Structure 1
């Protein structure tokens, strides 16, 4: 498995696969052709079908400026390796130097030379069973394995990740008004946190979870700076769970950093053995994985054992199996924002449930990860970030500002 620094990426929303990945690719290509005056960028498959809603074209044009950019949309052409493909070319030169690149989820990009390579793999563990075996052999829990494998600079990265997460929550709690995109969707986080102040007990805690998840998700939908956890589309779940856990248990940031390490390990296992790309396996790979990560983090912060942490993560993913990626008008808004909210709440439920158990259960995390991957492959493409089926086709086009 790769470093969790490849999982937790900091950047602007609304989409890690449709915005952050293409921007990174554009940056690399621009560096190769610093004197080019004109580029052609061809978007294929899911990138072409939902790129407008995700601001893919806008992000690429801004990155390649001041050069002229011609965007070509090939909605009916899908590349075999991954549905999120784009090709860069230099226009007006003898050598167009075409470069085909894939945005494979979570902001990561690969090309034909790098796909399938394992040169960046730093973990010897490949799945959850390997991680549990390591614990049995050494007595070192999840976060200790991560820190031992990643080295001293991991803490600095996770400290920055937590800082950006908290900043996204803080901004989201005060920002009001319409979310860009044409759906005329109002931000809700500020009103939710205000209403939470008059509540007490469980109702207050629940409303704050809602507000925190809304805050980050609304920031992402508005193009704000967020952390992929594991994607932009699912970026509100883990920060909300970490924030409320810190408040509830009066935890210092060191405990949160350790929880981020554990959550990152969970996300890495899914990323390595299945996919975190909505265009590849549907929303189960994004929100489902994020819920698993947050469930594990919440369980650890509440004092759970490795067995209970694994159980919580398994439930977080299992009970999102089959979840489709069908955003209305290709925007990371409906149903994405509310899905983040409810998945954050579900993560706490998974943690509570596992903490009441002895950690023994029937379906392992590795089995549910494999199941999610196979379910995603069997899912029709109309339910995998193409805006061709499900909720996406029922969006009222009259609400879109052209």
Structure 2
């Protein structure tokens, strides 16, 4: 049976907020278009004009999600993994002021964003709600066009792209939870061990470990930075950042100099239920406040849900005995496999499935990962993932003003708490008596997504987005 090979580094990508589908995806699409132009001419020097058309959800909530900013930075040839996030505002202001853009960082052309980057609010493309088209004119009269779809989690596909055979053959091909359980039973391996073996089809062990360490490091840095940054989030809603003040309140004057000392100070504060609950919320708030501020985060599996997995992982690091870097990497491997199964069987795009596809999936990923590092069996880990998603089914995506702030930031705290609860339920239960399988809940999630009204799919046309009315011009 054919299988889709998805790596842990497909599910976890380092990028810039606030949205993987509306920011990171269009950014990567712009970078791909630059490569298309280079192939067409061997250089960018012949390009005279570029126009960008945003469709569907990318148009309707693109301003709030920074889609226009992402496209501009991508056309400049900047990498979302390495770009200096502190320089983004100045770069965009310069493009708007001078009405020029340095294509690929080397070739300057006239580019007036209101004229050359259009939001087509009433038009959608059939393949996916997140569509964008690039048009380029060369000085010799040639024209090049390409349409891309940002399908969630930073994944991008080009229109007309042919399905090709998987570039790698995995030792343990997996499309469904049943496939994963089959390989675990056949080999006796845990979920993270199965994933580790599969990753070997792409690269050596040292490279995989180094990549996982980098993902973990970015999550740690983002959480720490968010817990120590005050102010108002950009975009016009005037949302006050809360993680830093909560961090101060919980630590009660304790001093520290770096991340490790900070974790030590947190541990020293005790382990009461209320204290731990506050810290889980603080961790999640911190990451998504960074995300909303165009900070560097890890898609997990999306930017809008980027706080759930780091929050649950930090809950484990700060409050559970036996937490080590090795366990943290195992956590990431397990979470990635659960996320990839959801992507294959349903979607991780809110524009396709509502917020159940983002917060719901991230909560399921975190629940399974926490269960495994806590000593749960493979079946208990999958049971935890099912429980977490079961209680996110039908969650809509209705961001006020199209911004990834309200209700998105708080939803990450809820997803993290549900993940921990789901893990505890699974650890104290026997999967033999479970009535709902992980595959069944994935199928149900997709059916719910198909049935969901489009106004609840990241369009800002329903729910809180209209009951708390704010014009896009304010954002």
Query: Normalising by structure 2, what TM-score?
Result: 0.82
SS where residue 195 of structure 2 aligns?
Answer: helix
| Greater mean deviation of Cα atoms: 215-224 or 302-311 | 302-311
SS where residue 397 of structure 1 aligns?
Answer: coil
Task: Give the total of aligned pairs.
Answer: 402
Q: Separation in 1 of the partners of 2:149 and 2:181?
A: 33
Q: Separation in 2 of the partners of 1:91 and 1:294?
A: 46
In the TM superposition, residue 26 of structure 1 has moved relative to its aligned partner by: 0.7
Q: Which structure 2 residues correspond to residues 323-402 of structure 1 after superposition, within 5 A? A: 323-360=395-432, 361-397=434-470, 401=474
Q: Which structure 2 residues correspond to residues 1-400 of structure 1 after superposition, within 5 A? A: 1=4, 2-33=6-37, 34-35=44-45, 36-64=47-75, 65-66=101-102, 67=109, 68=111, 70-91=116-137, 93=139, 94-114=141-161, 116-117=163-164, 119-120=166-167, 122-123=169-170, 124-151=173-200, 152=205, 153-197=207-251, 200=270, 201-250=272-321, 251-360=323-432, 361-397=434-470
Change (3 A) 1:121 1:113: farther
Q: Separation in 1 of the partners of 2:167 and 2:397?
A: 29
SS where residue 258 of structure 1 aligns?
Answer: helix
Change (3 A) 1:122 1:367: farther
| Structure exhibiting the larger radius of gyration computed from Cα positions | 2
Q: Separation in 1 of the partners of 2:232 and 2:169?
A: 43
Q: Separation in 1 of the partners of 2:211 and 2:118?
A: 37
Change (3 A) 1:353 1:171: same
Change (3 A) 1:326 1:205: same
Change (3 A) 1:116 1:327: farther
* Large movers: runs of 4+ above 6 Å: none
Contact 2:228 2:247 in 1 (8 A): no
Q: Per-residue displacement from partner, 1:221-251 (whole Å, max 9, x unpaired)?
A: 0000000000000000000101110122241
Contact 1:85 1:103 in 2 (8 A): yes
SS where residue 144 of structure 2 aligns?
Answer: coil
Contact 1:217 1:233 in 2 (8 A): yes
Contact 1:3 1:122 in 2 (8 A): no
Q: Separation in 1 of the partners of 2:469 and 2:21?
A: 25
Q: Separation in 1 of the partners of 2:357 and 2:167?
A: 22
Query: Normalising by structure 1, what TM-score?
Result: 0.96
In the TM superposition, residue 299 of structure 1 has moved relative to its aligned partner by: 0.9
In the TM superposition, residue 62 of structure 1 has moved relative to its aligned partner by: 2.9
SS where residue 15 of structure 2 aligns?
Answer: strand
SS where residue 29 of structure 2 aligns?
Answer: helix
| Greater mean deviation of Cα atoms: 298-307 or 334-343 | 298-307
Q: Separation in 2 of the partners of 1:126 and 1:376?
A: 19
Gaps of 5+ in 1: none
Q: 2:87 maps to which residue? A: none
Contact 1:21 1:108 in 2 (8 A): yes
Gaps of 5+ in 2: 38-43, 76-100, 103-108, 253-268
Change (3 A) 1:285 1:118: farther
In the TM superposition, residue 399 of structure 1 has moved relative to its aligned partner by: 9.8
Q: Per-residue displacement from partner, 1:132-156 (whole Å, max 9, x unpaired)?
A: 1111111011000000011123222
SS where residue 227 of structure 2 aligns?
Answer: helix
Cα RMSD (Å) of the superposition?
1.6
In the TM superposition, residue 116 of structure 1 has moved relative to its aligned partner by: 4.6
Change (3 A) 1:117 1:335: farther
Q: Per-residue displacement from partner, 1:325-346 (whole Å, max 9, x unpaired)?
A: 1100100000100000111011
SS where residue 175 of structure 2 aligns?
Answer: coil
SS where residue 133 of structure 2 aligns?
Answer: strand
Contact 1:15 1:233 in 2 (8 A): yes
In the TM superposition, residue 96 of structure 1 has moved relative to its aligned partner by: 2.0
